[in-house]
Structure 1
Amino acid sequence: MGWFLVFRLFLVGLLAPRAWLQAVPATVILSFLPDQVKMECLGSFARLILKPSYFHNKYVGFAAIDKYGRSWLIDEVLATQCGYTVVQDVWGNLELHVSLIGCYAQMVDDQHFTLTIQITAATNPAMRDAATFRVPVSCSYGPWQPREVVCEANYMEVSVRRNVPPIPDGFLQDQPEDWVAAFPEVQEGAPSIWQIVFHMDTGKKAMLVAEAHTAGYGINTTDTRIVLRASYNATEAQMVEVHGVPFSAVRSSTYYKQRWMLLMVDTAVACPVDGVSYTKETITWTIPKDISPLMSGVSNIKELHVKMGVDLHKLPEQDIASRGYLVASDKDAITVKLPIGAVGGNYKSDVVAGQLGVVYKIRPFVEHLWEDDKRGITKHTILKEISTPLQLVPIKVIDATNVPLQLFNTTVGNFLPDVELTSVTVNDMGPLSLPEAIEQCCAIHGIEHPNGSKDYVLQFPFDTPGVKKEYVVDGVRNYTANITLHFTVIPQAKNFEVPVTVTALVRDAVLPQAVGSCDDQALYLVVKRGNVDQDWLPYVEDTQLTQDMVQRLGYSWQDNGTHLALRVPSQAAHVAYEEIHSSGVVATFRLQLKEPRTQAEMIDFAISCTFSPKELIDCQPNGTMMISAMKLVGIPDLEPSRLMLRDRRCRPASVTEAGATFLFNVSACGTTRKFENATMTYENEVLYFLTGQTAPVYRLKCACQYFIGDALLLQYSPREAPSPSVLPGVGLLALALKVARDNSYRDFYQDTEYPVMRYLRDPLHLQVELLHSQDPQLELFLEDCWATASPDRNSSPQWNIVTDSCENTEDSHQTIFYSVPRGSVMFPTHLKRFEVKMFTFMVNGQALQGQIYFHCSVVICDASYPASDALCARHCIPRRQRVGRSIDHTSDLHGYVSSGAIVMGRRNHTKTS
């Protein structure tokens, strides 16, 4: 029984001071409507049922109206003293039970009882603007048994007829002093109840009526009866045990003076406080019969009947059987068995430690009637509110997500009607009230089942904010939504939550895609993001690519959210050299995208590019070769410091973890040379030997190829097999045609001094030179030389000054060749010097006034084989003799060279084209 759980969880009476015989200020009284309160007469009780249609979610108070029209607030103390009980059912509906012989009832012949109950209802706890109803109660009951004992939820009541038989001799003999103490009062007192004596194990205690009222007892009389009410925990109450069942008992004698007679009435009362046991399916309620405070001093007891009912309604035998109840009575006890869930009771939700459970509640009562030879007939009515232990309820969650409709659909249940959904949290949104949730994201509705239970259905689309999407495999994404449904149990307002995770596998994953490219300096990787990699992190090996790390590694990147673009230099960290073949070095860069939480590799991209050896081999014009040999993925344990050239004494000039660099002259370290297809090639090899082995496991054959006046992109490649691979490089045999100031050939005009001025027939001292080369075995020869009037060597008019390495016999001023003295330069064979006379061109009989340019085609020969190469042995050899020369050793290299502009002064000497 809850004294302050009234729909809105409190009883108004408890807000005011305890009242006993104190008037309550008058309130505005409204008409009573029978549809709002239902009244029933049930034996010695009247029951008022408040209709939930009106009183739901209101603050409610009760008061009793006395015969003078005054209202008395029914609080907890007044209810115990005057016989009122407020009962709340499992749905929060209120009932008021009224004892017909309670305070303020008007009685006629102890058979007709009238009373007015005032009910106040408001929507606020301060009871402002409250509506007040006065409900008339009128019931008849009788005949009364000599002694009637009632065990209500909040009080014990005993009413005894005044003309009861004398108290048993044995009982009086134990307390003779009670009479001695009371007798003097008989002579003077007015006819009334004037004293109660409580008998306890520690002794006895006498109280006047006013004292008993102050102690919480209710004492009053009717025309024919004496009534005593006491709470179960009254100070003078004692706990006694009868056949294992605890009882609360008050053993008292009430002394009543009637004229010159002093009557002592046994007003003992006893009520069980337990006796209920449970199995999984059955409630067993045991009421012992040998209740000593009620049956003391008697020997002959006759049982008249045992009846039972529910909610103050007695049940006939057929209803008891149809509901599955069982009532049994033997000489020791009355036993009532009630199936859990049977008709007459109700299930009620409850929350303990945040978990939902249910209890089964039922309010049975037993009416036991017996007769003894001392007190006559006793009617013992025991009302019991039984609530089974809490059983946790498994909450059913059904995930009926519809993938084609892109709709999460979950059903949560099965709840009793007293459970209400109040709000929801969807991912990070919430808690949202139901109207807010419906407006922002979700469809919510309830489903009621025929048995009164209900489910709640929550639906929301896949694109609801906060839905987590994770890539699984094979183009499938896992959609996950975390929902929390917030419930409350009414009317107690106990809250609990149901977390739900719903998932859906959807084949809509778009994986990131990458496009790679290369130039001669770097590898480029552009990753177009899909719809699964928003949180994936870029890694190279075990290094995460952050902005700072990218700068430290020398990379550059851009990330605009849809594309990630990386530029990685070809020799940067994490670029792996996998192989070397005829096209160049194969370098590979790998980028992984990893899941941040587990570090699992989700996808990786690799770009492989072949780089020409320009940065790995440098063929310098002065005959120096610089070779960069790097470690390969296939030989992870290679020690760069142990790399060597053909001449094993030639070791690296510098060593790093990634490789080694060699710097050597083309005439050293075992380098070989050959002519082939108008190129000259110097070759060497970088080797690596494992300890104890004679065959190299790493062989990188390097080559520098030279052309005159041109550059060629060359390749190299390694092979894991001992067979050599070739590393060609880029070389340039540069030529120059210079104009000397005189025939000493010590001083030449600089580029800034052109055009050079000469007068007609002045000598021009020209020198053709092979620049930069330090190879003493090379010799330069003039093939043809000619003059033009423009920088284009193929333009017209032209005039030959050297033909097939000889003078032009048609020229009246023939070319003069000069030898190069040994010691004057480092490599005399790299030079050719000759003199021509300054002239001008005649076209159609007219002299051209302008600039003259000189051009030569040259041949570079292998001077180490003079006997087999007539060009290298002589100065003037016809072209036809050179055409058939063997190319095994001395195949020549051709090139072209041109002079700067020569301007002629005015003198009358001309040459005709």
Structure 2
Amino acid sequence: MAFCFCFGVLFLLSLRTASTLDVPTGVLQMECRERYFMIAVGLSFAGDKPRFEAVDSTGVHAITEEYAAECGYTISLLPVLGHVELRASYFSCHTNDADDEVFTFNFNLIVTRGGKQATYALNKTCTLSLPWSPREVTCEVNYMEVSVRSEATCPYEENGDSAFKPVLYSDWKVMFQRAEDQFLPMNLSEARKLGYVFSLTDERLVFRTPYEQPHSFSTEVNGVPVEVVHAVLFSRQSWVVLVVDLLAACSMHNGSYDGGYMMWETSELLHSLVSPLNETEVSIGVNGKLVEKKVAEERGYTVEKINTTLQVSIPYKAEGGYRKSFVSRDLYEYYVFRLYLEQISVDEAEIAARLRFHRIIVTPLLPCHIFTENQTLLRERAFTIYLGGVPEDVMLVSIQLNGQEFTLPLTNMSTYNLTEVLHPNGTHGYTLTVLFDDPVVKLQFSRKALALQHILNVNYTLAVQPGNEPYYHQTAVTALTRVSPPAFDANCSESSIHFKLDHRPFDYFWEIAIGSDVLTSDLANRRGYIMSNDSQSLQLDVPLFTNGYKYQNVTLKGFSGTFEILVRVRETSEVQTSTVKTCLFNPPEFIMCSTDGRVTVVANLSLPIPSGGSPAETSLKDKSCRPKDAAGTRALFSFAVNDCGAIIMLGRDSVTYRNEIIFSSVRNAENLSSRNRVMLQCTYTVAGLHALFSAYKFESETVGVGRIVRSNRIIEGPTVEPTSASTGHTARSVTIRPRYQPSAKYIKVSSFLKNLSNKGLKETSQVNVFTVI
């Protein structure tokens, strides 16, 4: 039979509530809403598995998942919000209902923390804030509930004002209908065993059922999935048969996502038994609270009517929703809206029905775009990297810099620093600063750019809260800084040039060379350099007359000696720069044996010159070879090693050219005493000679070892001894007179000479010693 409903204007009354004292701090909310009571408990307080019990005069009743759907409770675990929530219908099983206006709730909250269980009593009294409509349907997450006004006027009464209030006697029965089918009637106790609950309050008849019961059915209304349960309640009372038609129909649309909007649909007419509607008013809200139309518009909530379908659209980032980060290889996010929709319909008889939906709609997984931005300024000589777009439920817990792990907070604030940046849209970011000079930064020399490349690979470890689910974000930044090759400081001393190089971290990109040879400890030892090299500096002392010097402006007063150190790119041996130092030297006596076979000598002749004699009167063995300059007791000679009556002495690994300074007034060589002789000799290693000559051309890789030999002392260049001297072989001399030599211009040392055995020295008169070209 049809009911006559009266439409009530929507209005709000102040809530009058009372609750017990000493509510635990972990209980975040205990609120009375228009048609239900809500408790929210923080998960940090409630632990993993909080439980609720309903308490009434009959005892304590555990609220399990099944029992909650039957008795009007909804328990939702909401990790996105960080709490667990209990919603209890005003008509829930164990609520103390006074005149359908005052409702008292008593619950036990049971939590387990640290292996210990604690029970907290929670109670609250709620006063109805909005009058009941003649017919109200609630589509909760886990059940459907319909209530109708129990006081009805029989239309066949003559005066129209006779009313009765049905009472649920034991002879009441219920018959479920599904489409064209009818199930056999059953009494209410049998229906309760199947999960159906019928109750009679002071003014309302209430029917509640979980979803997907055996007697419900699913259908589609204009493409909208709908679940329907149709119960017909009837009883014979005296000569009257009372029939109550109870119908609950709920949209089961799961929601969808399209173009940045979350969509949900229902229909104006969810079942054909509902009378055609004259008017429908829809209000929208979230989290169990409706919002005013203006607020809904500001947030972007819209309800569009397409034929008889109502389509709800909510921007996925709109206020009132909740977002959650999710890791599945990459980082994603999804948004959750706890949609609350109220639909007030007025039929042709102007009877109002109020339909409420509690629905959770969720977006699909959406990519979460965490990004890095290189904000490095070269003039600051530091990397500045911004990690942005980090959701509010994601925290940075550690970073790796070039593979080295750093947990937060960072401690070495002198060379690197990390600061958090908050943004009004709820996201946050981190700014990382690392100095170029920090040891963790990798260095690489760029040949093309002639610059130092600073490399920093950063691996951010972020954790989604709660649960600390890790997510890794990587980036790499580089910076080029111009660098100069290493430069030596150079100083002159009386008999050497001193070089010093202070080490820099990136100096290993270059190599130090003397001529074509890389400077090593072995090279320094062979050439007579004095070198020390530690973590702080490289020091090189180059004595006069060692290999590598160039001499100019040689006079009796002295000469300039120049030594050059080359700096080359290690990978290519390309010369980048050099340090050249020229010093003035004035030794009293010296001999130079050049690589081109030139001998330059300044000798002190105070002993061989007789009393009253002059250095200008001296000569070499060839008396035509006179001094270039002479003064006091010293004379300057410059001549080719093979000229001026030179004698060549061949050793196993060396060649020695020997000559003498003779006081020319002594005519007969037989009359020359050791006092009148000054022996000059230049020794070259055979391995370093490109050619051995007797006439015109000479070429050697290294300078020769010069000596000025007297009976009482030897004046020589470097301290490196000729091989022949070190091996104990005696050199046999052969005088080579240029006028008897063939017109050869280039004479090479043969392999036979370079591989002489230990049988001694061979004279140059043997034909197998020289090859004449």
- Which amino acid in 2 is paired with 1:392? C
Tell whether the 8 Å contact from 2:149 to 2:205 is kept in structure 1 after alignment: yes
Q: Which residue of 1 aligns with 2:210?
A: 230
Q: CA 1:205/1:594 → structure 2, altered by over 3 Å: closer, same or farther?
A: farther
Q: For 1:149, give the aligned amino acid.
A: V
CA distance in 2 between counterparts of 1:602 and 1:238 reads: 90
Deviation, structure 1 residue 429:
4.7
Q: Is the CA contact 2:207–2:246 (under 8 Å) kept in the aligned structure 1?
A: no
The verdict on how the C-alpha distance between 1:727 and 1:333 changes in structure 2, with shifts beyond 3 A counting, is: closer
SS at match of 1:491: coil
Q: Distance in 2 between matches of 1:398 and 1:608?
A: 45
Give me the whole-angstrom Cα distance separating, in 2, the residues matched to 1:359 and 1:733. Answer: 95
Specify the alignment match of 2:265 in structure 1. Answer: 286
Residue 560 of structure 1 is matched in structure 2 by 534
Cα 1:482–1:278 shift into 2, 3 Å: same
Query: How do residues 700-719 of structure 1 correspond to structure 2 at under 5 angstroms?
Result: 710-713=678-681
* Structure 2 CA distance for aligned equivalents of residues 544 and 205 of structure 1: 110
**Would you say the 8 A contact 2:498–2:539 is kept in 1?**
yes
1:157 deviates by: 0.5
Quote the Cα distance in structure 2 between the aligned partners of 1:548 and 1:263. Answer: 113
Q: Which residue of 2 aligns with 1:363?
A: 338
Following TM superposition, by how much is the alpha carbon of 1:45 offset from its aligned partner in structure 2, in angstroms? 1.9
Label 1:616 to 1:461 Cα distance change in 2 as closer, same or farther (>3 A). Answer: closer
Is residue 272 of structure 1 aligned with residue 259 of structure 2?
no
Cα pair distance change 1:602/1:45, threshold 3 Å = farther
Q: Tell me, which stretches of 5 or more residues in structure 1 are unaligned?
A: 1-28, 166-188, 518-522, 569-574, 620-672, 685-701, 737-770, 779-913
Moved more, 710-719 or 335-344: 710-719
CA distances 1:438-496 after superposition (whole Å, capped 9, x unpaired): 78976555444555554445556666552345567999766555544443333354443
Counterpart of 1:63 in structure 2 is 52
Query: In structure 2, do the counterparts of structure 1 residues 562 and 365 end up closer, same or farther at CA, with 3 Å as the change threshold?
Result: same
Q: 2:120 aligns with which of 123, 129, 132?
A: 132
**C-alpha distance in 1, partners of 2:135/2:661?**
137
Tell me the secondary structure at the aligned position of residue 116 of structure 2.
coil
Aligned residue in 1 for 2:283: 307
The verdict on how the C-alpha distance between 1:608 and 1:199 changes in structure 2, with shifts beyond 3 A counting, is farther
Task: Give 1:309 deviation, angstroms.
Answer: 2.7
Structure 1 residues 296 and 103: CA distance shift in structure 2, 3 A = same
Q: Hey, what does 2:503 align to over in structure 1?
A: 530
Question: How far does the alpha carbon of each residue in 1:718-739 deviate from its partner, in whole angstroms, 9 at most, with x for none?
Answer: 99xxx96567999999999xxx
Once the two structures are TM-superposed, the CA of residue 240 in structure 1 deviates from its matched residue by 4.0
Q: Confirm or deny that 1:149 pairs with 2:137.
A: yes
If the length of structure 2 is used for normalisation, what is the TM-score?
A: 0.57
Say whether residues 1:418 and 2:418 are aligned partners.
Answer: no
Are positions 1:105 and 2:95 aligned together? yes
Encode CA deviations 1:193-232: one digit per residue, 9 max, x unaligned. 677676799x9899998998788x4534344434233246
Q: Deviations over 1:734-781 (max 9, x none)?
A: 999xxxxxxxxxxxxxxxxxxxxxxxxxxxxxxxxxx95567999xxx
SS, match of residue 107 in structure 2: strand
Classify 1:731/1:145 alpha carbon distance in 2 versus 1 (closer, same or farther; 3 Å): closer
Matches within 5 A, 1:360-509: 360-370=335-345, 378-389=353-364, 390-395=366-371, 397=373, 399=375, 411-426=386-401, 428-434=403-409, 437=411, 444-449=418-423, 452-458=426-432, 464-469=438-443, 481-491=456-466, 493-499=468-474
Do the aligned partners of 1:91 and 1:490 also contact (CA within 8 Å) in 2?
Answer: no
Q: Does 1:115 align with 2:136?
A: no
> How far did 1:130 drift?
3.9
TM-score normalised by length of structure 1? 0.50
Q: Retained in 1: the 8 A contact 2:175–2:184? A: no
Contact kept in structure 2, 1:555 and 1:566, CA below 8 Å: no
C-alpha change, 1:65 and 1:616, in structure 2 (3 Å) is same
Partner of 2:222: 243
2:78 aligned partner: 88
Alpha-carbon distance change, 120 to 338 in structure 1, aligned in 2, over 3 angstroms = same
Report the CA distance between 1:332 and its aligned residue: 1.6
Closer/same/farther in 2, CA of residues 130 and 470 from structure 1, 3 Å limit: farther
Q: Pick closer, same or farther for the CA change 1:602–1:135 going to 2, 3 Å.
A: farther
Compute the displacement of 1:333 (Å): 1.3
Provide the C-alpha distance between the structure 1 equivalents of 2:575 and 2:483, rounded to a whole number of angstroms. Answer: 16
Number of equivalent positions:
596
d(CA) in 2 for partners of 1:681 and 1:391? 85
| Residue equivalent to 1:48 | 39
- Does the CA contact (< 8 Å) of 2:658 and 2:681 recur in 1? no
- Between the aligned partners of 1:500 and 1:616, the Cα distance in structure 2 is 60
Query: 1:351 maps to which residue?
Result: 326
Q: Compute the displacement of 1:674 (Å).
A: 9.6
Quick one: which amino acid aligns to residue 53 of structure 2? A
Q: Distance between the aligned counterparts of 1:526 and 1:718, measured in 2?
A: 31
Question: Contact 2:255/2:361 (CA < 8 Å) preserved in 1?
Answer: no
Structure 2 residue aligned with 1:885? none
Partners of 2:89 and 2:517 in 1: how far apart?
A: 82
Does the 8 Å contact 2:146/2:247 carry over to 1?
A: yes
Deviation at 1:63, TM superposition (A): 0.9
Whether the 8 Å CA contact 2:420–2:428 is kept in 1: the answer is: yes
CA RMSD of aligned residues (A): 6.4
* Residue in 2 that maps onto 1:828: none
User: Which residue does the alignment assign to 2:146?
Assistant: 159
- Equivalent position of 1:174 in the other structure: none
On the 8 A contact 1:87/1:97 being kept in 2, the answer is no
Alpha-carbon separation, structure 2, partners of 1:210 and 1:545: 104
Q: 1:163–1:730: structure 2 CA closer, same or farther, 3 Å change rule?
A: closer
Equivalent residue runs for 1:493-892 within 5 Å: 493-499=468-474, 511=486, 513=488, 528=501, 530-533=503-506, 535-536=508-509, 538=511, 560-563=534-537, 592-594=568-570, 676-677=625-626, 710-713=678-681, 725=697, 773=734
Change (3 A) 1:615 1:440: closer
Contact 2:279 2:345 in 1 (8 A): yes
CA distance 1:79–1:548, change in 2 (3 Å): farther
Contact 1:470/1:478 (<8 A) preserved = yes
Whichever of the two has the greater Rg, that structure is 1
* Matched residue type, 1:712: L
Other structure's SS at 1:113 match: strand
Distance of 1:526 and 1:469 partners within structure 2? 27
Asked if 1 retains the 8 angstrom alpha-carbon contact of 2:251 and 2:267, the reply is no
Whole-Å separation in 2 of the counterparts to 1:196 and 1:547: 102
Q: Give the conservation status (yes or no) of the 8 Å contact 1:164–1:265.
A: no
The aligned amino acid for 2:86 is L
Deviations 1:224-275 (A, max 9, x none): 434233246x677765444344x25254546666779696855553322235
SS at match of 2:69: helix
Q: Is the alpha carbon distance of 1:158 and 1:607 closer, same or farther for their aligned partners in structure 2, counting shifts above 3 Å?
A: same
- For the 8 Å contact 2:444–2:452, the answer to whether it is kept is yes
